[in-house]
């Protein structure tokens, strides 16, 4: 597996031999969530094929030589609309046909939204996505307490009490009266590490929530979580979909990880020998792209990105939320910097293939120019955000808010739709990761350590 963290101990041989992998992970528009899912599944001892929407459109999932049953397509978090664009109408139709013929679909967060009914969606499930009454509720992240249903897709040992499940800025299901959708888990209330934006609710006196509600009509109680469906499943033709707004692949989240392992074993009939997904410490990942003149821009990009995150912490713009995630003050480009940092760490942690090295030779000059622009402008943008937050009330016309936002978009892109200089660099790093994935035939060099 990739050398994400030396604590991973799943061994080769945990799964049955798969000359043609039965588990595909949609790589498009997934960013940090695709990396996290790939790492988690590899930690469980599984062989994963990173797959692009264009390949699916060309019929990858419906190969004539392989039966569809027990095959699994996993669509991780990320922007559902961007995933739909990457698949195109042919790719969306191919996934529907794959599931209709007996394949299995596991969608997490953005991947769950993609499978719902709506414009540019798969329509595997009759439910649609429910809008939030206000944007504040979409800022929810951390762990929530949830109850599992009595269902064959819910491990018995997790039923009967509240378990802790992670959410990271999720959407919501809009239930309809149609039959055939099973609710596997509903949230009940927030857990201790639940946040709204950069507010850690557990650190605040409980009485303040009632005061804010009474005085200002501001509800920060997280009551919107009560009975909110988190995980659902159903049939589509001969196949099954399983949709989760909980990120079951979150590192070191025991209840979620055990359930993810159980679900994959049930859907694929692959015997797993571990349910542990260890902590993901991005600071400890080793580098398998050797530092030389050719690869220097990639190493420099990682150094620059880390320095920006450290600068943000020093200036009280960012804070270290977990070993794999920096939190950020609302309105700052924390999502973009987290995605770029994780992508650079992930890329340098895998052994580059010949195809990746060839592609890098063609991309290197453009990437280097983009990196130079990023290095020149990103620091200034963050510090301008800082000084504006301090002096904006005293010098309201010194820095125009619109100019600051336009500059931030040009550098970091839109929080939901990406773009900017960061988006250009992500295109390169994610393509190189995709090209570096190992050949999964049993005799192949895995391309990275598996111990």
DSSP 185-209: EEEEEE-TT-EETTEEGGGS-HHHH
Residue 190 sits in the same domain as residue 69: yes
Closest C-alpha among 75, 70, 72 to residue 107:
75
Residue 131 located in a structural domain: yes
The whole-model pTM stands at 0.91
- For residues 198 and 329, the answer to whether their CB atoms sit within 8 Å is yes
pLDDT tens per residue, range 56-76: 999 999 876 667 878 999 999
Q: Give the relative orientation of helices 420-436 and 31-43 as an angle to the nearest 10 degrees.
A: 30
Residue 247 sits in the same domain as residue 341: no
Q: What's the rounded Cα separation, in Å, for the pair 81 and 357?
A: 31
Residue 240 sits in the same domain as residue 355: no
Domain boundary residue among 268, 295, 322? 268
**Hey, which residues does 167 pair with through a beta bridge?**
142
For tokens 């589509």, what's the residue?
Answer: 236
Residue 79 sits in the same domain as residue 166: yes
pLDDT tens per residue, range 123-162: 999 999 988 666 677 889 999 999 999 999 999 999 888 9
Looking at the structure of the chain, the number of domains it has is 2
Instruction: Please list the pLDDT of the chain residue by residue as tens digits (451 residues).
Output: 333 332 222 232 333 434 445 899 999 999 999 999 999 999 999 989 999 999 999 999 987 666 787 899 999 999 999 999 999 999 999 999 999 999 999 999 999 999 999 988 999 999 999 886 666 778 899 999 999 999 999 999 998 889 999 999 999 999 887 779 999 999 999 999 999 989 998 888 888 988 988 888 887 777 788 899 999 999 999 999 999 999 999 999 999 999 999 999 999 999 898 999 999 999 998 888 989 999 999 999 999 999 999 999 999 999 999 999 999 998 899 999 999 999 999 999 999 999 999 999 999 999 999 999 999 999 999 998 888 888 766 666 666 677 778 899 999 998 878 899 999 999 999 999 999 997 644 333 334 332 2
Domain boundary residue among 268, 302, 335? 268
Residue 17 located in a structural domain: no
Residue 277 located in a structural domain: no
DSSP calls for 46-115:
---EEE-HHHHHTTGGG-TTS-STT-EEEE-SS-HHHHHHHHHHHHHHHHHHHHHTT-EEEEETHHHHHH
- Residue 240 belongs to what domain range? 23-268
Q: Which residues contact 286 (CB under 8 A, 6 or more apart)?
A: 3, 6, 349
């Amino acid at each position: 597996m990739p050398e994400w963290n030396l604590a991973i101990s799943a061994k080769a041989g945990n799964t049955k031999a798969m000359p043609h992998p039965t588990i595909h992970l949609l790589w498009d528009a997934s960013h940090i969530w695709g990396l996290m899912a790939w790492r988690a599944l590899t930690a469980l001892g599984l062989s994963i094929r990173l797959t692009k929407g264009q390949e699916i459109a060309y019929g990858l999932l419906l190969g004539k030589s392989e039966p569809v049953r027990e095959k699994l397509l996993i669509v991780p978090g990320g922007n559902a609309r961007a995933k739909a664009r990457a698949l195109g109408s042919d790719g969306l139709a191919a996934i529907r046909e794959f599931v209709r013929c007996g394949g299995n679909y596991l969608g997490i967060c953005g991947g769950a939204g993609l499978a719902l009914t709506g414009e540019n969606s798969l329509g595997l499930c009759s439910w649609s996505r429910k809008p939030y009454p206000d944007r504040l509720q979409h800022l929810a992240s951390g762990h929530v307490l949830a109850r599992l249903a009595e269902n064959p897709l819910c491990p018995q040992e997790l039923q009967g009490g509240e378990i802790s499940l992670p959410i990271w800025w999720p959407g919501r299901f809009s239930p309809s009266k149609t039959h055939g959708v099973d609710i596997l888990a509903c949230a009940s209330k927030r857990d201790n590490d639940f946040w709204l934006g950069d507010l850690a609710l557990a650190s605040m006196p409980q009485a303040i929530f009632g005061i804010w509600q009474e005085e200002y009509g501001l509800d920060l109680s997280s009551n919107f979580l009560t009975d909110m469906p988190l995980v659902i499943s159903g049939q589509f033709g001969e196949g099954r979909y399983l949709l989760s707004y909980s990120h079951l692949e979150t590192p070191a989240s025991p209840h979620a990880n055990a359930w993810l392992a159980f679900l994959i074993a049930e859907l694929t009939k692959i015997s797993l020998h571990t349910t542990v997904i260890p902590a993901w410490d991005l600071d400890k990942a080793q580098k398998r792209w050797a530092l030389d003149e050719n690869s220097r821009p990639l190493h420099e990009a990682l150094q620059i990105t880390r320095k920006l995150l450290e600068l943000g912490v020093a200036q009280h713009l960012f804070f270290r939320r977990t070993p794999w995630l920096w939190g950020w003050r609302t309105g700052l480009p924390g999502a973009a910097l987290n995605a770029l940092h994780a992508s650079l760490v992930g890329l340098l942690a895998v052994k580059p293939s010949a195809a990746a090295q060839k592609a890098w030779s063609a991309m290197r000059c453009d990437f280097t120019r983009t990196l130079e622009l990023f290095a020149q402008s990103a620091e200034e943008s963050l510090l301008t955000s800082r000084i504006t937050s301090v002096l904006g009330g005293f010098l309201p016309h010194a820095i125009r808010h619109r100019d600051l936002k336009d500059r931030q978009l040009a550098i970091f892109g839109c929080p939901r739709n990406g773009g900017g200089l960061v988006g250009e660099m992500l295109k390169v790093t994610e393509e190189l990761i995709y090209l570096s994935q190992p050949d999964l035939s049993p005799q192949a060099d895995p391309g990275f350590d598996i111990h």
